[in-house]
Amino acid sequence: MEYFWTNTVWYALLGLITIFELIIIFRKTKNVKFTLAFYLTVTGLTLAAEITLFFVFSAYDYYPKIIPSSYYDDELTGNLFSQFSASATALLVPIFNLSSYWIFIFAVAYGLIEELFLALGVYSHNWYRTWMTPLGMSALFWLVKKIYSVSIKKSSKLLHYLNIYFSLITLVVITICWGFILTGRQNFSRSLGKNPISSPYLVSDLYTTPIFISLMIMYFRKWKIYAKAIVITLFYIITYILGCLHIIYFYNIWWYLFFTTSLIFGAYFSIVLMDYLYKSEN
């Protein structure tokens, strides 16, 4: 609790604003299931962009002090607060069919929040600058509105697949991959790129991408059980080989089985769930 009133409280307030926005959204929407699915997609989309800025290019740093014993895990937590908030605000735009005027207001508001966090010392820039935030947020809000307008008509299979894919970043990468890293009993290679601290998160994303795509093909193409069993067995073998090559680190063989099973079946059932939610009419 040492840093709660100096650092954590500001991220907690951001979280409360996010919850308030989501309450408004779900009271307004006529299709709760579809809206929930779309929110999970938008959070995955924003996190994909954030992975590039935060993990790859080290654009900025967060200091929520929620996990003060682990610098990078603490930064990751602050990042998640930020992206879930931005995604909720983005979803307000299509749900209420807001005009460009409101997009501008929301984008500027995020720029002001960023300046506040900088002044409070709970966030800092490396090469990134505040003026980039209103521009990026404007693009995000506009893009989300366009994607929503097409998705709600259910007229594009490709967009349906992309929506489900990005939702897996939220449902699987954050909860399972990053969750297992936080246990301290499993990790990914620290040798990818220049930053050994961010490397495990990048490797986890590279590792899950072909698995997600394969599972989606398996589900939507309605493969026979024997074909599914062969592919899933290959996932276990590949993951074991990656462990032998020290690309993935496991505490022991049981931890390897626990993680691999959780990831594969967690991802598959997430695909089934998201397909159901997106196809729901109310």
Q: What is the pLDDT of residues 147-160, one digit of tens each?
A: 999 999 988 999 99
Task: Report the pLDDT value the prediction gives residue 202, as an integer from 0 to 100.
Answer: 83
Instruction: Provide mean pLDDT across the span 271-275.
Output: 98
Instruction: State yes or no: pLDDT of 265 exceeds 90.
Output: yes
Instruction: Provide mean pLDDT across the span 56-71.
Output: 79
The mean predicted confidence, pLDDT, of the chain is 91
Enumerate the domain spans of the chain: 4-153, 158-279
What tens digit of pLDDT does each residue of 194-219 get?
667 778 888 888 999 999 999 999 99
The DSSP symbol for 188 reads: E
Closest CA to 85 of 4, 19, 130: 19
Nearest-angstrom CA–CA distance, 40 and 166: 8
Q: Enter the pTM of the model.
A: 0.93
pLDDT band at 270 (very low <50, low <70, confident <90, very high): very high
Task: Report the pLDDT value the prediction gives residue 52, as an integer from 0 to 100.
Answer: 83
Q: Residue 33: what are its φ and ψ, rounded to 5°?
A: -65, -45
Instruction: Provide mean pLDDT across the span 54-72.
Output: 78
Nearest-angstrom CA–CA distance, 162 and 140: 16
Nearest-angstrom CA–CA distance, 252 and 191: 21
C-beta atoms surrounding 260 within 10 Å: 21
Nearest-angstrom CA–CA distance, 49 and 45: 7
CA angle 97/102/108 to nearest 5° reads: 145
CB-neighbour burial class of residue 130 (10 A; exposed 0-12, middle 13-18, buried 19+): middle
What tens digit of pLDDT does each residue of 102-142 get?
999 999 999 999 999 999 999 999 999 999 999 999 999 99
DSSP per residue, 202-230 = HHHHHHHHHHHHHHHHHHHTT--HHHHHH
pLDDT band at 74 (very low <50, low <70, confident <90, very high): low
pLDDT band at 80 (very low <50, low <70, confident <90, very high): confident
Instruction: State yes or no: pLDDT of 236 exceeds 70.
Output: yes
| Distant-in-sequence, close-in-space partners of 56: CB < 8 Å, separation ≥ 6 | 193, 198, 202
Task: Report the pLDDT value the prediction gives residue 282, as an integer from 0 to 100.
Answer: 66
